[in-house]
Amino acid sequence: MYFIGIDCGTQGSKTVILDSTTNKIIGKGYSKHNIIIEKDGVREQFAQWWIDAIEKSIFQAIDSANINPKLIKAIGVSGQQHGLVPLDNEGNVIRKVKLWNDTSTSVENESIINTLGGMDEVWNTIGGTLPIGYTASKVKYLIDNEPELYAKTKYVLLPHDYINYYLTNIISTDPSEASGTGYYDVRTHKYSDKMLNVIDPTGALKSKLPKVYNWETPIGYIRPEIAKKFGFSKDLIVSAGGGDNTMGAIGTGSIIPGFCTISLGTSGTCCFASKKKNDHIHKLIQIYDLLNDKYLCTSCILGATSSTTKIQELFSLSLNEFDTLMNKASIGAEGLLSLPFYDGERIPPIPAGQGIIKNISASNLTKENIIRSTAESIIFILKNGYNHMIKSFEEPSEFIVTGGGSNSEPWRQILADIFNKKINCLKENEGGALGAAIQANYLYNFSKNKDTSLIEIIKSNINYDTSKVKVPIKENVKLYREYFRLFKDSIKNEWGVDV
């Protein structure tokens, strides 16, 4: 049997076709998106760009798989989280989509937190955090700055919700996506009336929100016109799908107890699953509602490969040249320190932060050191979030790195040394798309009353590339402990933030 997984990312959309008999991906497709970047942290896209890219990638995947598309049993969708997709009465998107990395609504975010009485009260209200970038502040921005558009808004969706709407004509979301809005209580598995009324005191917001479907309930069947376009069966079911962090957690295995996934993509994340949510946790760690009272604990940074790419483009380097120079520099970059907060940051909480290169001398100002320090600092930021997570949850024992940055041999070694952990890579580095296909596989089996386990399906699809394994080097680990301390001190000195 065959299952499709779609991943709508920031830079492009990907489709994979999973053969559940062989547990192999037999077809792939990909198409890029543009992104609108403006001053004051604006990061936006047109929703139609996603649909155009997804259609191209589906055709590519079917063509490369060389199968009859009517044999595909289910589709799952993974999507970039936290974006705001407002629809009118006719289902039309009425403005550009503010994305997860849009920091232009920091004023609105602070207003929500202050109205509630501070971050502690946010946690009391929704059982989680409210970093800049969550959907709540985007909705408030719409209410306060574009009231005529808010009045026309019939539904408030997230990117993956909108793609599911395109596929099924059904308004829906899933618990993991709802958890990243800032107005869903992960403890009660319901929208928080208290938070909704803070965002919109008129009470209108609740009626605009989608129904939450769990992972064991199909949201519906494919629309007939979509089935005809791609040659699908009219009985093709669409699973609830989810945010890219949670679908990536499925696709990389980090919802398996003891597993931790570190993603080096446009953003950077460190995540692992917990059976029971712990309320005594750092207030900026993100908690996502999954399945059967399991939660995904996540630390997310806004810039990972997006930051290294800026340096790569600045010096007009290929990826191989970039890696060669990174490897050439010594640990600690001869004291040169990069703070690559080009778009602000969530953890540490500096939404208006800017990039800084400091401790420059005549001898250490080289391409090699700038590249090395940028790569090291990104891992330091992830390690900082991870350290906060394991103060409240059991420390994982198995580590997997994924995303475009995982292809860098020197960056994987830096990761192993700073985390002081053995780092594994997957043979199939498809993350969210594979996770969405696995979820679709699980849902199909569940709907047919087959004895199935999501964890077992995940395990059957996780295969390590042993040639890419990195283990920590003792001498490097010792050096990085001191450089990590200096990195945290620099953040406090620059922005007055304890990390």
Residues in the chain: 499
C-alpha 389/C-alpha 286 separation (Å) is 10
What residue ranges in 83-147 does DSSP mark as E strands?
85-87, 97-98
In angstroms, how far is CA 178 from the centroid of its own chain? Answer: 14
Nearest to 237 by CA among 7, 62, 443, 19: 443
What is the identity of the amino acid at 156? V
Question: How many CA atoms are closer than 13 Å to the CA of 29, on its beta-carbon side?
Answer: 22
What phi, psi does 325 have (nearest 5°)? -70, -35
Nearest to 286 by CA among 294, 210, 295: 295
Among left, alpha and beta (phi > 0; psi -120 to 50; other), residue 85 is beta
Q: Which of 244, 289, 323, 343 is catalytic?
A: 244
Nearest to 484 by CA among 357, 406, 399, 379: 379
Residue 372: C-alpha distances to residues 264, 322, 329, 369, 400 (Å): 15, 9, 6, 5, 22
C-alpha 171/C-alpha 4 separation (Å) is 20
Provide the token pair at 256: 């398996």
The CA angle 384-455-100, to the nearest 5 degrees, is 45
Q: What is the four-CA torsion angle of 183, 186, 189, 194, rounded to 10 degrees?
A: -40
Q: Do strands 72-79 and 12-19 pair parallel, antiparallel, or not at all (unpaired)?
A: unpaired
* 254 CB-near residues (< 8 Å, 6+ apart): 248, 260, 261, 271, 272, 273, 296, 396, 400
279 is catalytic: no
**Catalytically active residues, by annotation:** 244
